[in-house]
Structure 1
Amino acid sequence: DLAKPPVNEPREPEQFLMQAPQGNPLLLSHTLQELLSKDSVQVELIPEKKGLFLKHVEYEVSSKRFKCSVYRRYNDFVVFHEMLLQKFPYRMVPALPPKRMLGADREFIESRRRALKRFINLVARHPPFSEDVLLKLFLSFSGSDVQNKLRELVQGVGDEFMTCRLATQAKDFLPADIQAQFAASRELIRNIYNSFYKLRDRAERIASRAIDNASDLLIFGKELSALGSDTTPLPSWAALNNSTWGTLKQALKGLSVEFALLADKAVQQ
């Protein structure tokens, strides 16, 4: 007889049952401050070079709640996101930033880092997600096979409502005018999204102009500094004497410092 392939040991369903929330589960029982205090996660870039041509970007992910730092790559975030979607198919899992295969410039990498930070903080402060073992593993597991560990946690468990005690009572919590409420909510969300999209576009244009302005101020200051540092002696026919010219050069150097400060402030805006 052929040997039977090994199978995972069955796990008791009770192990994965979620605690039923108190009161109406349709109402959020947390204040904004309580949600923000759940965790604060930092995501910092760690450039890493592999081989002669290919470069991979690694991130240091630090959780204030779990008091630890781990290293993650973009693909680790992708698997974590996929497992959240698989386990919580009826919830609004935050979206991940896109992956660019080749030619990722510094601006794109920094933009994606900020987006990953927003993503992981939204997940870490989401009431159900924040208490799930997936998040704890992603933020605290320091091994090299985090992707396999994440998949193992979800394997054979089923989605959230297969193990939730409220699943059999779900219809009882739905209001009679649920379709009308959904329609109104969709319209409101669409309007909010369109407004924030326009605001983001304008903010990016303002930031771009600020960067250009800072660059011009810096160049202006450098030219003033170069002029103030010129050591070429005055010709005999010059109307200015050396003392007056020296005073002017000192003033130009002082102005160059002021322009450098203005450039720094423009970048920070």
Structure 2
Amino acid sequence: MDLSGVDKEFIEARRRSLKRYLQILCRHPTIYDTDIIKFFLTFQGTSCADNMKATYKNVLDEFSSESQSSLNSNDNIEKHGEDSDGIQMFRISQTHISFLHQQFNQIRGYLKSINEKNFKNANDFANIEKTLQTIGSDSTSIDRWATGPNDYWPTIQVGLSNLPVEIDAISERINEQYKRDDEVINDHFDLLIELLQGYTDLCKRFDDALQIEQKAIQKANNQQKRSSTATDTSSK
């Protein structure tokens, strides 16, 4: 794949995201030991996705533990009836997770803004250092017309020439703090947000599957009612 035209920062951001996602999977108490994860991490060759799809095409996901045809029986219609308490708890959890995801995203934005200001401050101090060095190394001859009866300027210039060392130390400290904070935001805070995003996506998948299941149950109930009506009519 030719990536010559792709922004390097974008590639690096995607690399970090993939690393965090794999860490989430590998830290999961159940997922880390599944054959699919082992296959993905140890696969050598090309077309990993196609090979995974072909190898595990019959593996059920969390919404496929039972076949769709099983919904046609009366027992399973009763079994799959909506659990109002469970659904209500799911809705509350779904709303809460979405709320947390939104709030932490806002906090991340604030932290990024603060850190960008710190980076700018470090650059500003570096520019101050360069400016002071320029002033301190200025060899322009100063005559009495400019200074009057005093000769303070050479002393001031010597003092200014010593300041860049202190300014450089400040710039370095701010820059190091920026790097540490940026690492915390990228490698820790983003991990939390991506976990919440994963739960948000999972809730969405569950909600979609729940709606499909409920439609199937409703359809089966309607068919059962029509069948019962037809039987009663024919018996009369």
**TM-score normalized with structure 1 length:** 0.48
Pairing partner for 2:51 from 145, 149, 155? 149
Show the counterpart of 1:131.
Answer: 33
* Structure number with higher strand proportion: 1
Q: Which residue of the partner structure matches residue 123 of structure 2?
A: 215
Read off the aligned partner of 1:219 and give its amino acid letter. Answer: N
Correspondent of 1:252 among 132, 142, 163:
163
Shift of 1:202: 1.6
Alignment of 1:170-189 (within 5 A): 177-189=85-97
Q: Displacement, 1:117? A: 2.1
Q: Deviations over 1:31-54 (max 9, x none)?
A: xxxxxxxxxxxxxxxxxx94xxx5
Unaligned runs of 5+ in 2: 71-75, 182-236
In structure 1, what is the Cα distance between the partners aligned to 2:158 and 2:126?
Answer: 23
Separation in structure 1 between the aligned mates of residue 101 and residue 30 of structure 2, nearest angstrom: 24
- Counterpart of 2:103 in structure 1 is 195
Q: Which of these residues, 12, 28, 44, is aligned with residue 110 of structure 1?
A: 12
How far is 1:197 from its partner?
2.4
Preserved CA contact (<8 Å) 2:132 2:161 = no
* 2:141 alignment partner in structure 1: 234
Is this contact kept in 2: 1:213–1:263, CA < 8 A?
A: yes
How high is the TM-score relative to the length of structure 2?
0.54
- How big is each residue's C-alpha offset from its partner over 1:164-212, in whole Å with a ceiling of 9 and x where there is no partner? 79xx9x969x977212212222222232222222222222222222222
Could you tell me whether the CA contact under 8 Å between 1:214 and 1:263 is conserved in 2? Answer: yes
Residue 249 of structure 1, CA deviation:
4.6
CA change 1:252–1:207 in 2 (3 A) is closer
Secondary structure of 1:177's counterpart equals helix
Say if 1:218 and 1:263, in contact at 8 Å, map to a contact too: no
**1:133-152 deviation digits (Å, cap 9, x = unpaired):** 22122223343443343233
Amino acid corresponding to residue 139 of structure 2 in structure 1: T
SS at match of 1:143: coil
Aligned length: 165
Q: Does 1:159 align with 2:32?
A: no
Amino acid at match of 1:251: N
> Which structure's CA Rg is the greater one?
2
The alpha-carbon deviation at position 127 of structure 1 amounts to: 3.2
Question: Partners of 2:153 and 2:115 in 1: how far apart?
Answer: 44
> 8 Å contact 1:225–1:256 — kept in the other structure?
no
Distance between the aligned counterparts of 2:26 and 2:51, measured in 1?
19
Aligned: 1:122 with 2:29: no
CA contact (8 A) 2:36 2:52 kept: yes
Root mean square deviation, CA, Å: 3.7
Q: Aligned residue for 2:112?
A: 204
Maintained 8 Å contact 1:129/1:135: yes
C-alpha distance in structure 2 between counterparts of 1:255 and 1:203, whole Å? 27
CA contact (8 A) 1:224 1:252 kept: yes
For the Cα contact (< 8 Å) 1:214–1:264, is it kept in 2? Answer: yes
CA distance in structure 1 between the aligned counterparts of 2:9 and 2:110, rounded to whole angstroms: 18
Q: Which runs of 5+ in 1 are unaligned?
A: 1-48, 56-101
Tell me, what secondary structure is at the counterpart of 1:183? helix
Which AA in structure 2 matches 1:187? T
CA distance in 2, matches of 1:133, 1:162: 19
Instruction: Note if 1:225 corresponds to 2:126.
Output: no
